Every structure is written in structure tokens, then in C-alpha cells.
Structure 1
Amino acid sequence: MGIADLFKKKASGTVAKDRLKLVLVSDRANCSPEIMEQMKNDIIKVISKYVEIDEEKLDIEIAQTDSEGNNGKVPALIANIPIKDLKSPRK
């Protein structure tokens, strides 16, 4: 992610789609949209230390999955994070 990417304006359709996804995910997880946005930003920040990612194609959601111990459905964090390039190791 370059410095110019920070100031790149997203299309309104993309912003609306991202907001709708955030609302749906936060509803399923039973947590606020603010917490979901903070979680997404934290995940991006940590992963970006090691790899360059495509934030426009980033998809993070919470889905219900079957538990391994037959305890019914449990929430699962599912992240699709396209990697553009690996960063060189810091010394």
C-alpha cells in the first residue's frame, strides 16, 4: 500500500457495499459495526506488516459453522485477503 493509496477515493457503490457487508456481519456476530470495523482495521494493520494486501478486494465476514464437538452452530471468522506481494524481512 503506497502513500497515494491512502488518499485514493473509493467509488460510492464500493463504499455502500462495504458498509452493507459490515452491517450484515456485525448483525450475525451480535456485535456493533464499530467493533467489526475496528477488528477489520486491526487485522489489516497486522497482516500488512508482513505482506502487501489488496484492501479493495478484502472480504472479512462472520458465518455460522457446525462445532466439532456437536455443540450446535458457532460463529467463525472468515477472511479472504488477497496478497499482492511479500515484504522483505526487517533486520
Structure 2
Amino acid sequence: MGFGRKKSKETLKNRLELVLAYDRAKIAPGKVDALREDLLAVVKKYFPTEGSNIEVEQRGDSIMLVASIPLEKEPR
């Protein structure tokens, strides 16, 4: 049981840090989610693939969008 609590505590801490970073950067709620969806739509238009993911991370005082997009080879 202790392991699950530690993971939940860390997740909650990370979310709180992001909320505070959004507030400091004056980013409106939902704007980052809308940007994430728009970016995924554009990527999927040019690189049809499953498993693409864009996450929001805080690095120091900066908020970063980090993309993980597996590119599949097109058949020749």
C-alpha cells in the first residue's frame, strides 16, 4: 500500500506545480489542452500514427510542451 500512496503524492505534487506555473505564466485554463489537441491533429494529418502524445512539463520557471510522436515508415 505504501508504494501507491507515494506515487499518488508525487502525481499530486506535479499537478500542483503545473497549476501554479500556469497561474504565474497567466495561461488561461483550457488553452494548453486546446493547443495540445491542435498540435496532435496537425501531426496526424502529415504523419498518420497511433500513440502520439504531448505532455506539459515544468522545467524550472519554464512550461514546456514535450511531444512523443512515433513516425511509421510509409510503404513504398
User: With structure 2 as the length reference, what TM-score do the two structures score?
Assistant: 0.49
Structure with more helix by fraction: 2
Q: TM-score scaled to structure 1, two decimals?
A: 0.43
Judging by fraction of residues, say which structure has more strand: 1
